[in-house]
Amino acid sequence: MAARPLLSSLRRQPAVLGLLAVLLLVLLSATGLRAVQAVAAEPVPIRVLMPAPLADAVAGPVARFNASNSGVAVEVIRGPLDTETISDLAISSLLLGEAPFDLLLVDVSWLPKYVAAGWFVPLERWFGPELLAAMEPGARLGNGLGEHLWRMPLTGDTGLLYWRTDLMPRPPRDTEELVAISRDLQRRGRVRWGYLWQGRQYEGLSCVMVEMLQAFGARWWNGSTARTELDSPEAVAAASWLDALLRDGVSPRAVANYAENDALQSFAAGEAAFLRNWPYAWREIEKGGGPVAGKVGVTPMVGAPGEQGGGTLGTWGLSLIKGSPHPEEAVAVIRWLTGPVVQRQLAIEQGYAPTWSQLYDDPDLQRRAPLLAVQRQALQHPQLRPPTPAYAQLSDLLARQVNGMLTGQAGPDQTMATAQRQSQQVLRSLAGSPTPAAPG
């Protein structure tokens, strides 16, 4: 499958074009600002492009940094909410040749593509291996490619399983128990649905598939061969389990059009026993004051009987843009924003999982961030998406095929066989391009 043309896709996204125009204005004003700084000793401006939720989350720490008289002024460019849209925005800006930002907050799945394009500066000159060693195991993943460190992680989030403490004494141990508990509660009229998750054709469904493949002993990507393995018996079993959830009524048919917030709203309204979502969902449930507030537990994703479950790694980290006129000052901003002080605040106020082990050992933070123990447990076995520059294409085609299965267009065997065949076509089409080594 050929990659979708970037410019034509942007023409269909007015929000991206509008934000790109704003970034161009920032670039023009930056040229003038540098001329002014040659005369007046003003703080060095460091601009950071972030998705809207994280831009809002770091507003307080950024304000304190700017008030510290460090000689650096951080300007956060608030990008779109959607992960795929902000990636399009970042890429279109970088293709201009002189990006109007010094730092980019990078989703873990973007890194191979951006590194292959030559847009980042390696960070090991400033951040040694001892820093990553001080982080939880899962937080160390997805930051390095080949021999280089390309980003410093700001969050350690993974997919999590939410369960109703008013309906069961403990969470399910595996996928069989999850279905059995769901059916029992549905049969007794305690809930309308058993399990809610993300089935829409988008990146969220790819994250669900990462978890299901792991849950059934399959894998999407073989790092040794740089090939996908989507048609293995274990992979078909994973797809079959999701398909059966809809056929048997454990999940609603409408889940095929659910994104994170759709599933969250239904769960928060008391309609289901279980929910797959990210850490932010817990605070949304609690502050909403709905019928399940105070009645929700959280646990790592479960596997099939005898298999190790694991949530998809959804970390964000800061990378230094090649060509930044102020790399030393930009690195100082990375050091501050990804450091323990800011991560502690994000854990308390927003529920984001920290990366630093010392924060998980902090008794006061344990008291103030209720998910901390579960988040640490989840970071022991997180699951990476395929670390290849072709990931966006692979994700798009897998989500399309699986969503087609959920809407009755094909069975699990045909779905996964088609996804495997198309994936290999994509990889063969890119065979002439260098592929970075697996992340460290």
Domain boundaries, the chain: 6-156+314-375, 161-312+386-429
Give the position of tokens 């605040």.
345
> Which of 21, 50, 5, 2 is closest to 342 using CA atoms?
50
Q: What is the pLDDT of residue 96?
A: 84
Give the position of tokens 């961030």.
369
CB 143 within 8 A of CB 132: yes
In whole angstroms, what is the distance from residue 48 CA to residue 103 CA?
A: 5
> Which of 61, 62, 107 is closest to 80 using CA atoms?
107
- The pLDDT tens digits of the residues spanning 357-382 come to 999 999 999 999 999 999 999 999 99
Q: Matching CATH topology for 6-156+314-375 and 161-312+386-429?
A: yes
Name 33's Cβ contacts closer than 8 Å, sequence gap at least 6.
45
* Three-class SS state of 110: coil
CATH 3.40.50.1820 fits 161-312+386-429, yes or no: no
Supply 191's token pair: 């809930």
Half-sphere exposure of 276 (CA within 13 A, CB side): 29
Q: What is the pLDDT of residue 179?
A: 98
User: Is the torsion defined by CA of 249, 254, 258, 261 positive or negative?
Assistant: negative
Q: What's 383's DSSP letter?
A: B
> Which of 268, 319, 294 is closest to 165 using CA atoms?
294
Of all helices (H) and strands (E), which one includes residue 163? strand 160-164
**CATH class of the domain comprising 6-156+314-375:** alpha beta
CB 87 within 8 A of CB 115: no
CB 232 within 8 A of CB 218: yes
Kindly give the parts of the chain with pLDDT less than 50: 1-12, 17, 20-22, 24-40, 434-440
Q: What is the pLDDT of residue 84?
A: 84
Of all helices (H) and strands (E), which one includes residue 42? none
- The pLDDT tens digits of the residues spanning 376-399 come to 999 999 999 999 999 999 999 999
Q: What is the pLDDT of residue 434?
A: 47
Q: What is the pLDDT of residue 12?
A: 43
Q: What is the pLDDT of residue 99?
A: 82
Task: Give long-range contacts, CB 8 A cutoff, 24+ apart: 428-437.
Answer: 429/2, 430/389, 430/390, 433/116, 433/389, 434/116, 435/112, 435/116, 435/226, 435/388, 435/389, 436/112, 436/115, 436/116, 436/145, 436/146, 436/387, 436/388, 436/389, 437/145, 437/146
What are the φ and ψ backbone dihedral angles of 144, each rounded to 5 degrees?
-120, 150
